[in-house]
Amino acid sequence: MESGDLKATLLIVDDSPENLAILGELLQLHYDVLVAPSGERALQIAGRQPAPDLILLDVMMPGMDGYAVLARLQQHPVTRAIPVIFLTALDAAQDEERGLQLGAADYIAKPIQPVVVLARVRAQLEAKRARDWLRDQNAFLEAEVARRMAENDLIQQVSIRALAHLAEARDSETGNHILRTQGYVCRLAERLRQHPRFAAILDERYIELLRACLRSPN
C-alpha cells in the first residue's frame, strides 16, 4: 500500500527456501509478508482472517502444484477473490496462457526481476483495492435501496390503515370491508405461493404490493 495506508499482506508460496528468502527480502520492505513452503500450507494460511491481499504462487511444487492450489482457492468463498500471481520457470507462451485461463491475475517467469515483480504486485494490489471499493459501494447502495423500499412500504401500510379507519369512521362496514379484503387476498396469495406455477412470482414483496393496492374507494 502507499505510505500512510495499512500495509497490504502478501503470501509467497514456493517449495524452495532460497526463492522464499529472495522474494521475502524484496517485498517485506513494502508489504507484510507471509510464506508457505507447500500448497497445503498455503491453503491453511489463505483461509485465515484477515485473508492475504495477494498471493505469489509457484507452479512447480511437489505434491499439490500451483494449478491445484489455485483451483482450491477459487472453490472457497473466503479465498476466491484473492488475486494470484503465478511465479514459475515455465516461460513458454502456452504455459502463461494456461495460467491466465485458469484464473491467475498475472504470470511472472523465473528468474525473477525485482523491478518487474514490484511493478506487477503494485498493479494487482491497486486493481484489488478498486474492486473492493466498488464492492463496498454496491453493498452500501443496495442497503440504502432496501431501507428506502422498507420505508415506502411502511408509509403505504400506514396510509392504507389510516384510509380504512377514516372510512370506518364514516361507515364502519366500508372500513371493515377494506381490511377484510386485504386479509382474504393476502391469505389467498400465501396459499398460491405454495403452488409451483406461482412460487416464482408470489414472493413477500409481491404480496405486500397486492396488499398496498387494496385502497379504499373514492
pLDDT in tens, 56-98: 999 989 989 999 999 999 999 889 999 999 998 876 667 778 8
- The grid cell for 64 is 499439490
Full residue range of the structural domain in which residue 166 is found: 141-213
- Domain tally for the chain? 2
Place of cell 494460511: 45
Q: Is residue 123 part of a domain?
A: no
Percent residues over pLDDT 70 in the chain: 78
Tell me: do 175 and 107 sit in the same domain.
Answer: no
Q: Does residue 206 sit within a domain?
A: yes
Q: Are the beta carbons of 8 and 125 closer than 8 angstroms?
A: yes
Do residues 33 and 95 share a domain?
yes
How far CA 184 is from CA of 105, 197, 201, 211, 217, in Å, comes to: 56, 20, 18, 10, 17
Domain end position, chosen among 112, 129, 158: 112
pTM given for the model: 0.62
Is residue 119 assigned to a domain?
A: no
Q: What angle, 0 to 180 degrees and rounded to 10, lies between the N-to-C axes of helices 172-193 and 114-170?
A: 140
Peptide linkage before 111 cis (omega within 30 of 0): yes
Same structural domain, 173 and 106: no
pLDDT-based confidence at 185, cuts 50/70/90? Answer: confident
Same domain, 151 and 99: no
